[in-house]
Amino acid sequence: MFAIALKMLFHDRAKYLGLVLGVAFSTLLINQQLGIFIGLITRAGAVIVDVPQADIWVMDSGVKNLDTIFPLRDTELGRVRGVPGVDWAVPLYKSNVTIRTGNGELEASLLIGVDDSTLIGLPPEVVMGNIDDLRRPDAVAVSVDGFRKVWRNEPLSLGNIAELNDRRAVVVAILKDSPKFTSSITFFTRYSQALQYTNNGRNQMSFIVARSAPGMTPEEVSRNIVSRTGLQAMSAKDFRYKAIMYVVQNTGIPISIGTVVALGVLVGIAVVGLMFNLFVLENLKQFAVLKAIGTSNLRLIGMVFLQAAVVGFVGFSVGLFGATMFFETAGKSPTFQGFYLPWYVAAASGAVAATIIVLAALLAMRRVLFVDPAIVFRG
C-alpha cells in the first residue's frame, strides 16, 4: 500500500512540488534567520572572546555591556591585583576612533589598547606580521576585515599608514579577530599608545582583565573582587552572556527576526496544511475506492502519514541545504563573517517541519477517516 501511496503523491507533480517548497521555504527561513540572529547577538560578546587568556572581567559597577563604559582609575588595577585568588590582572582599553581610509573616506573603528608589557588582550591568531612589533612607536595591528575595508582592493600587507583620530598609525601586524557587533574595523595597540590616539589623559582604563589563580573558579575570585574593591567583576562567560542579553533585551533584533521566523512557521503551516489538505481532498475518491475494496483505516492513515513524511523529509532537506549554502556563501563576506548554522537551530527547524507535517497530516487524515466509501457507487 505504501508503494501506491507514494505513486499517488508523486503523480501530481505540481502539487508535490508546492508541498515540498512550502516545507523547504519554511525551513530555509527559520534556519537562515535564526542563524543570522545567533551570529548577530554572539557578536555582542566578541571582544570578550578575543581575550581567551582572561577568565575574569572587572569594570565599573554601572557597566551593563561592552559599549557603555565608565573609565576606572589607574589605581584600581593595583587593588584588583591584591585580591586573593587573582593570578594576574592587566588593563584593557576600548574606545571608538575615526579612521581615514585609503581613498579619503572616514570610517568608525574600534580601538583596543592592550597591556604594554604582556600584550594580553590581542586575539591569538596572527595572519601577518609579528605582534612584538607593537612595541614600536605608532605601531598598530589591524583585523583582517578591517584591513580589507580600509585598504580596499589591496592585498594584505604590512607598513600601511593610517590616521587614527588624525594621528599616524603604522600597521605592523594583521590579526584574525571575532566579528564585532558595531564595526568590522578593529585596531589593536598598546594601552599607552591607545591613550595617545584618543587624547584622553589618565584614568581611562575601560576594563581590567584578570586570571583566577589555579584551584579557584573565576566566579569565586570575582566575588572576592566585588567584596574587596566595590567594582563589578564577573567571569568571562557571565560577562559574555550579559553582553548578549543586553542586545536581546534592548534592541528590536529579537522581535524583528522573531517575527520573520514566526511568519516562516505560520506560512509553512498554512501553505503545507492547506495544500496537503487539498491534495487529500482531490484524492479523496481514490481513498474511498481503496476503503471500499477493503483497505483498513489504519492502513489509510499510514498512507497519509507516509505521504506527509516524504513531503516533510524532502522539503526539510531542500530547505536545510539552501540554508547551509547561504551560510557557506554569505559567510565569506565580512558582513556575515562568523555567521553559521548551529546544529540546534537545524534540529529545531526539523522539529518545526515535523510539526507542520503532523498537523497537515492530522488535518487531512480526518477527511480520509470519515470519507464514506459508499460514494464510490454514486455516479
Partner 1 sequence: MSGQIAVQCEGVIKDFGSGSVKQRVLHGIDWQVPIGATTFLVGPSGCGKTTLISIIAGLLTPTAGSVRILDQDITKMRRSRVVKFRANRLGFIFQQFNLLPSLTAVENAAVSLVVQGSTLAAAKRQASVLLDRLGMEHNKFKYPNQLSGGQQQRVAIARALVHNPQIVISDEPTASLDAETGREVMELLGQVASAKDRAVIVVTHDNRIFPFADYIATMSDGRIDSFRKNST
Which chain residues interact with partner 1 by CB under 8 A?
Answer: 1, 3-4, 7-8, 10-12, 285-286, 289-297, 372-374, 376-379
**Helix pair angle (253-282, 13-42), 10° resolution:** 170
85: nearest Cα among 232, 223, 208, 206: 223
Residues 6+ apart with CB under 8 A from 183: 96, 107, 108, 109, 110
Least distance to partner 1 from the beta carbon of 299, Å? 8
Least distance to partner 1 from the beta carbon of 282, Å? 10
- CB nearer to partner 1: give 297 or 335: 297
Residues 6+ apart with CB under 8 A from 261: 29, 30, 33, 34
What is the total residue count of the chain? 379
Least distance to partner 1 from the beta carbon of 302, Å? 13
- CB nearer to partner 1: give 104 or 379: 379
Residues 6+ apart with CB under 8 A from 346: 31, 320, 323
- CB nearer to partner 1: give 31 or 295: 295
- CB nearer to partner 1: give 1 or 161: 1
264: nearest Cα among 18, 39, 40, 21: 21
Least distance to partner 1 from the beta carbon of 289, Å? 5
Name the one residue in this structure whose C-alpha cell is 566575588: 223
- CB nearer to partner 1: give 279 or 326: 279
Helix (H, G, I), strand (E, B) or coil at 151: coil
Least distance to partner 1 from the beta carbon of 296, Å? 5
3-state secondary structure 186-212: EEEEEHHHHHHHHCCCCCCECEEEEEE
DSSP E strands, 130-271: 139-143, 161-164, 167-176, 186-190, 207-212, 232-235
- CB nearer to partner 1: give 270 or 281: 281
Least distance to partner 1 from the beta carbon of 378, Å? 7
Least distance to partner 1 from the beta carbon of 355, Å? 28
How many angstroms separate the Cα of 180 from the Cα of each of 23, 29, 63, 123?
Answer: 33, 24, 19, 13
- CB nearer to partner 1: give 152 or 285: 285
Least distance to partner 1 from the beta carbon of 370, Å? 13
- CB nearer to partner 1: give 6 or 348: 6
